[in-house]
Amino acid sequence: MISNYITKTYPNHQSIATGFYEENHGIVSNHFYDPRYNQTFDIDKSPDYWWTEWPVTPVWTVNQLYGQSSGVMQWPGAHVRYRDQSPRYLQNYNHSIPWNTRIDTMIGWLTDGRAPASCVFAYFDEPDATSHEFGPFSTQTYSQVLRADAVIRYLLQRLDEKSLLNQTNLIILANRVINLNDILDPSWYDWYGGSPNWSILPKPGHYDKIYEILWKASQTMPFTIYKRQEIPEHYHYSRNRRILPLFLVADEGWDVFQNVSQVHKPKGWPVWGNHGWDNRLLSMRPLFMANGPAFKS
């Protein structure tokens, strides 16, 4: 499967939920700036209008508009009310809830005698979280992959117990150092996002200078700098005011930081995992597995 660009968590989860590119649904990174509101998006605290300003509706809301019930288990952005409604069944993000408990809760939604859910979305933050800390090929990440396999087996077992396995369409998806202060004076700009992608907002009078310096540096360093209007069309990532005038992306396998002292050194330092690079790269392609009566074998 090819993810949307940028290959970051919140933008791609919103694309999966709504079917829109990031430039169309407005969640353009995990951390970004909106020049209209002069505010920065916070994944935990930002009000609903950050999500609902553009005319998009997640599948779980569409399902309910057709008279069905939906459930959402810890999916990013599920707390937001669309079309003046929330999912009938909702569990906001809580890392401490055991995985099997989450499965049991969702089975309860599907079998609720009053209004059984006919559409359920669920998010699990592993093996992503461990891969960031220890790297994608670490033994720790491999253990989390085995854990994910086990919870999928448990889900199938519980569906079978309730005679739902052959009636349920199941889709399993995944989303998918340069020291900038050596190149630019940090007083010339503000930037938003997270490595390897950064949206840059030049301060008045500095746009041309910043672009020229970064373009020259990119000829010998592993990153690319774009003017917003020059971001490649296949990214579908330019037609939104939240994508700022300059956009910097590191080459595959590289990260960009303002200052090396700001780098979060994970437990697996100096090897760790990341995502966000070109969505056409094989390394950025997540899995897509589906099973159920709606899918041909």
Which residues carry out catalysis? 9
Rounded Cα–Cα distance for residues 102 and 18 (Å): 23
Residue 141's nearest CA partner among 266, 256, 255, 31 is 266
The answer to whether 31 and 40 have CB atoms below 8 angstroms apart is yes
Residue 247's nearest CA partner among 222, 273, 229, 262 is 229
Whole-Å CA distances, 162 to 83, 110, 169: 32, 9, 15
* Per-residue DSSP letter, 4: P
* SS3 of residue 220 by DSSP: coil
DSSP alpha helix (H) spans, 177-272? 207-218
Backbone φ/ψ region at 63: left (φ over 0), alpha (ψ -120 to 50), beta = alpha
Q: Are strands 256-257 and 178-179 parallel, antiparallel or unpaired?
A: parallel
The answer to whether 122 and 104 have CB atoms below 8 angstroms apart is no
The answer to whether 122 and 73 have CB atoms below 8 angstroms apart is yes
Rounded Cα–Cα distance for residues 135 and 289 (Å): 24
